[in-house]
Structure 1
Amino acid sequence: MTGKITLRLLEGFRAVMQAKTVTAAALVLNVSQPVVTRLIRDLEENIGFSLFVREQGRLKPTAEALILYEEVQRSLISVDRILQSVEMLRDGHQGYLQIAAAPALALSFLPKMMAGFSAQYPGARLTLHMHGSETSLNMVLSGMCDIAVVMLSMRQSGTYGERILSGRMVCVLPVGHRLTQQATVGPWDLRGETFLSHPHVLDTRLQIDALFAAHGIQREMRLESQISYSLIELVAAGAGVALVDPLTATLYRGDGVVFVPFDPIVVNHYSVVTSSERPPSVLQERFIEQLKKSLYDTLAPEYRVVGG
């Protein structure tokens, strides 16, 4: 019957087998020679047979030691991998994140941000899901995703997540439009224009409708899209004018449109949501930290709303 075989005893045995001498093994383990000698002696006592014989001042492994070494090597390689995984998890370099995001964030901003994050943390696996803000929020609350990056109203942001940044909506005009030279565009400027809009399910649509109604402005509305990028492309195609979120306006690289700040200010709040049921992993914390910095650095300063 064998005694207790500890990981440390096996590490000492492996070091002697690989280094060939007690002196060299002690250097590998960063211990003294007597410590290595005691590890081998304790292991032999626990397993009940000799592992080495001394010939001409050198340790020669027995046949049993050679067989045991193969098993020990396989086992310790697995342990080494576990320890490496532990270290990577502790430092946030390994793990799996599922991220749900609103189209305004998932189409342009997040791919670049995630590519940079993946290069910094190559052991991490990231999955991006694109849904509306409400759906993305519910995916986190139901445990289907780890992080939601969304555009929520002030009330929702305070309840479910952390508001990262706020920005003002931007009017999109075709090149050559009569309003492109103005510093801002207001509801009264858009009287008689064909207006391209987000659908009613979005909170910003309700704000915009209320604003135009308050000014007694009726709009000719023919086309709708949930996605700001699509609205911009419709404007470029000559279908009308639109109001879009500031991040999409900042990142748009196409031709044929001009962006002008809208006044009165209609605010978009960019928020990050995580589960309140479980603590965030180190990887989640690293991701959110980089997300905040990237979003602030990306959004055009003229569109930011301080304290919005």
Structure 2
Amino acid sequence: MTLRQLEILRAIIRYRTTVAAASQLGLSQPAISNAIKAMEAQTGFPLFERINNRLFPTREAQMLHDEAESIFTMHTILENKLRDLKESKAGHLRIVATPPIGYGVIPSALRQFLAQRPQVQVFFDVRRYEGVIDSVESNLVELGFAIGLEDRPGLHCEAVFTGDMVCVVKPGHPLADKPLITPADLDGYPFIALERGTRLGEAVRESFRKAGQPFKHAVEVRYCNTACVLAESGVGVAIVDPFSPRYGAGDELVVLPYEPVTRAVASVTWSKSRPLSRLAQAFLAEVRAGAARMERDYRERLSRRD
């Protein structure tokens, strides 16, 4: 079937009548009817059932429609690229990140990047780890950012920031004045745990095992940002990545070093199957610069505590 035939099939399924489909596509009603006959002759099975002057797709037609959606998605992306070229726009960049990076490093890098490129259009989404990987592997985005990225066939992976997990408490909390926090210090206080099965959640649990301390929690959350908001509200104490305390809540949050040292590595990934565009390279340079500044600040804070 041609793309035009699939487009007609899609319109009929969406609007249920040949008249409405014809109006939407700028064709005549007889042209739509003839297209249905041609497609049914080509496939060898009926595509629609007529009920009360409305057309309802057969199971086979619905399956064709569902499979064709990815084609239309890619076609839309291609049309957007062509429109950008036609209108002499500077370009289009698509990126995705997990929440700690998406709410931490990316916004400041994006501000600097767009300040110098006002004509650039950016698509930016925040997703879970699996969503970041899937988006990069399927070429829906050029760059993906996450904590705990692992080497995968077909993907480049580069660390942009390495820090340590920290403890966050509300000002005035009994632990707020301690020079550092260990799992034993948390015993007896409501603990906000990161979700079991996630990379950071398992890393925190492993740190408790190393310290020989039983892992108990009052609340379990998916994201470090959520843990920071709850800690600031006085719900409990949390162990989170070093980005989220700065961006996940307000200023009323005490950040303390945590031992055993638990690394949090923020990385970027992109597909090996195609070279990065000039826009992606420029944005990645901004991220590296921003991460370097953040790492310097992080090390300075640690040295002041020492």
CA distance 1:84–1:130, change in 2 (3 Å): closer
Equivalent in the alignment of 2:204 = 208
User: In the aligned structure 2, how far is the partner of 1:147 from the partner of 1:172?
Assistant: 30
Aligned pairs for 1:36-55 within 5 A: none
Deviation for aligned residue 1:251? 3.8
Q: Deviations over 1:237-259 (max 9, x none)?
A: 11110011101223456143211
**Does the aligned pair in 2 maintain the 1:246–1:303 contact within 8 Å?**
no
Measured on the aligned residues, the alpha-carbon RMSD in Å equals: 2.7
Deviation for aligned residue 1:82? 7.1
Q: Deviations over 1:26-51 (max 9, x none)?
A: xxxxxxxxxxxxxxxxxxxxxxxxxx
Q: Deviations over 1:219-240 (max 9, x none)?
A: 4312222222211110111111
Equivalent in the alignment of 1:164 = 160
Aligned pairs for 1:112-151 within 5 A: 112-151=108-147
2:298 to 285, 296, 301: 301
Equivalent in the alignment of 2:282 = 286
User: In the aligned structure 1, how far is the partner of 2:162 from the partner of 2:101?
Assistant: 13
What amino acid sits opposite 2:121 in the alignment? R
Equivalent in the alignment of 2:228 = 232
What amino acid sits opposite 2:250 in the alignment? G
Aligned pairs for 1:1-308 within 5 A: 85=88, 94-153=90-149, 160-251=156-247, 254-299=250-295, 300-302=297-299
**Does the aligned pair in 2 maintain the 1:261–1:303 contact within 8 Å?**
no
User: In the aligned structure 2, how far is the partner of 1:141 from the partner of 1:83?
Assistant: 28
User: In the aligned structure 1, how far is the partner of 2:301 from the partner of 2:116?
Assistant: 28
TM-score by length of structure 1 reads: 0.64
CA distance 1:222–1:95, change in 2 (3 Å): same
User: In the aligned structure 2, how far is the partner of 1:181 from the partner of 1:157?
Assistant: 46
Q: Which has the larger radius of gyration?
A: 1
CA distance 1:158–1:192, change in 2 (3 Å): farther
Identity of aligned residues (%): 25
What amino acid sits opposite 2:237 in the alignment? V
**Does the aligned pair in 2 maintain the 1:192–1:219 contact within 8 Å?**
no
Partner of 2:208, secondary structure, is helix
User: In the aligned structure 1, how far is the partner of 2:175 from the partner of 2:153?
Assistant: 34
**Does the aligned pair in 2 maintain the 1:167–1:303 contact within 8 Å?**
no
What amino acid sits opposite 1:106 in the alignment? G
Partner of 2:227, secondary structure, is helix
User: In the aligned structure 2, how far is the partner of 1:264 from the partner of 1:218?
Assistant: 14
What amino acid sits opposite 1:247 in the alignment? F
Deviation for aligned residue 1:303? 8.1
User: In the aligned structure 2, how far is the partner of 1:158 from the partner of 1:167?
Assistant: 27
Equivalent in the alignment of 1:6 = none
Q: How many residues align?
A: 218
Q: Deviations over 1:189-215 (max 9, x none)?
A: 112221101112321211211221233
Give 5+ residue unaligned stretches, structure 2.
1-83
Deviation for aligned residue 1:151? 0.8
User: In the aligned structure 2, how far is the partner of 1:105 from the partner of 1:183?
Assistant: 27
TM-score by length of structure 2 reads: 0.64
CA distance 1:210–1:108, change in 2 (3 Å): closer
User: In the aligned structure 1, how far is the partner of 2:108 from the partner of 2:299?
Assistant: 22
